[in-house]
Amino acid sequence: MSVIETRLLRKDYGRIEALKGVSIRVEPGQIYGLLGQNGAGKTTLIKILLGIVRKSDGDASLLGEPAGRSQVLQRVGYLPEDHRFPDYHTGTSLMDFYGRLFGMPRSERRRAIPATLDLVGLGERANSRIRTFSKGMKQRLGIAQAIFHNPQVIFLDEPTDGVDPVGRREIRELMERLKSQGKTIFLNSHLLGEVEQVCDRVAILQRGVLAREGTVADLTRQTGHFVIGLDAGQNFPTDDISKLGYHVSAAGPHFEVALDEKQSIDPVLEFLQARGLKLRHLVEKKKSLEDVFVNMVDEGSAPRVARSLGSHS
């Protein structure tokens, strides 16, 4: 059973179409990244799944229940973007308040709250008023309140916003630890490098349409480009390779060989071996997620899905 599933999900705000038939599926134990420009519909999608926003059409389910059912929220954690905690609380009293709303027994709250605050690095400020917290500390508190009740699925909307580099690394490690515990994480972030590092699958929304969806490897693969390096002192036979019908260009100390759709890299490798040249570096070139995203935005590319949704089922 999928943890999250949407089918042809639509949301209209008057004349504005925020989501235009988005279909995604998130499996248990995945870290799923949602990318998109501002106004692409990312937060709307999350809010529909959590019942904060009403859908206009289509289907959305969370943990097997139709989105918006309050009972299912018992097993869900959420860190909203631009959260605003009641600043008359301390870290501990806020978590205690939310714990009561989740129906956590007193003993469980007493155990989980200090442990989680310690985990996010707020143990020493647990009893300080939230109004005295920095932005980064509030963000850590936001993560703590999203995970302390042991949810099955966690929605994190810009979790590293305002957090310093060390803190970001800690949050990434935390997400990986949660994943290893079998939690499903739905991550919405502008930091593409971050998404690339932790996410199993990524969806890119563009103007309310699902533009790309697939694994990070799928999205960043750049087919037909290989970077080759030889042993020190050996010269790369650029002219000979070109005569074989390949396009060769320098790539730093190495050389990049570009293939067309019908070509294979194997003839090049056989040629080098035949000439007694020693291969020391061979990498199929990849694009970064940022390249993919920026190119997609620049091109205003027609939406396409890297892998069909049918491949999941």
Partner 1 sequence: MMRFVAMLRDSLKEAVDGWIFLVMLGLSTLLIVLVASASVRPLPAASAVPDMLPHQAMQMVFADRGQASRAAMFMQSQSVENVATLEKGGTPWDCDIQFTLRFQRGFPGMPAGIEMEGGKDLKDVKRGDIKIVEGQAGLFADPIEDAARFWAASAGTSAKERPKFTEELASDFLAYQVAAASGLKVIKVVRKEKGVYEITARSESRLRWPHEPSLFFGSLKLPFARGPLGDILYNLESGLVSGLGAWVVMLAGVIVTAGFVPNMLRKGAIDLLLTKPMSRPLILVYKYLGGLTFVALLTTITTVGIWAAVGMRTNVWFPGLLVASVPIVFYFAILYAFSTLVGVLTRNSIVCIVATFLFWIAIFLIGTAHSVVSELDRVDMNLAGAAPPGGDGPPDLKPPGWAVTTTTVLNRITPRTRDLGTLTDRVIGSGLLSDGEQERQRKKTMNVDWPEVIGVSLGYLGAFLALAVLRFVTRSY
Per-residue contact string for residues 135-174; x = within reach of partner 1 by CB under 8 A: ----------x-----------------------------
191 binds partner 1 (CB under 8 A): no
Angstrom distance (rounded) from CA 303 to CA 8: 14
- State the nearest-atom distance from the C-beta of 154 to partner 1, in Å: 11
Angstrom distance (rounded) from CA 177 to CA 155: 15
| Residue 76, CA distances (Å) to 28, 54, 174 in order | 13, 18, 17
82 binds partner 1 (CB under 8 A): yes
Q: Which one, 83 or 247, has the nearer CB to partner 1?
A: 83
Residue 49 buriedness (CB in 10 A; 0-12 / 13-18 / 19+): buried
107 binds partner 1 (CB under 8 A): no
Q: Which window, 68-76, 201-209, 289-297, 298-306, contacts partner 1 (CB under 8 A)?
A: 68-76
What are the φ and ψ backbone dihedral angles of 138, each rounded to 5 degrees? -65, -35
Q: Among residues 101, 217, 250, 279, which is the contact residue for partner 1, using CB under 8 A?
A: 101
Angstrom distance (rounded) from CA 233 to CA 236: 10
β-sheet bridge partners, residue 256: 227, 249
Q: Among residues 24, 60, 78, 140, which is the contact residue for partner 1, using CB under 8 A?
A: 78
Closest CA to 120 of 100, 99, 142, 135: 142
Q: Which one, 78 or 255, has the nearer CB to partner 1?
A: 78
Residue in the structure block whose two tokens are 């810009």: 158
Q: Which one, 51 or 214, has the nearer CB to partner 1?
A: 51
- State the nearest-atom distance from the C-beta of 212 to partner 1, in Å: 27
12 binds partner 1 (CB under 8 A): no
98 binds partner 1 (CB under 8 A): yes
Q: Which one, 94 or 163, has the nearer CB to partner 1?
A: 94
Say if CB 50 and CB 67 are below 8 A apart. yes
- State the nearest-atom distance from the C-beta of 111 to partner 1, in Å: 17
Of residues 31-60, those binding partner 1 (CB under 8 A): 47, 50-54
Closest CA to 158 of 150, 166, 148, 168: 168
Q: Among residues 83, 247, 254, 307, which is the contact residue for partner 1, using CB under 8 A?
A: 83
Q: Which one, 103 or 165, has the nearer CB to partner 1?
A: 103
Q: Which residues contact 11 (CB under 8 A, 6 or more apart)?
A: 17, 18, 19, 41, 44, 48, 53, 55, 56, 208
Q: Which window, 82-90, 119-127, 178-186, 243-251, contacts partner 1 (CB under 8 A)?
A: 82-90
Determine the distance from the C-alpha atom of residue 125 to the mean position of all C-alpha atoms in its chain, rounded to a whole number.
30
Closest CA to 214 of 229, 231, 201: 201
Q: Which one, 54 or 243, has the nearer CB to partner 1?
A: 54
74 binds partner 1 (CB under 8 A): yes
Angstrom distance (rounded) from CA 6 to CA 21: 9
- State the nearest-atom distance from the C-beta of 15 to partner 1, in Å: 16
Q: Which one, 18 or 204, has the nearer CB to partner 1?
A: 18
Q: Which residues bind partner 1 (CB under 8 A)?
A: 47, 50-54, 70-74, 76, 78, 80-86, 88-89, 93, 97-98, 100-103, 145
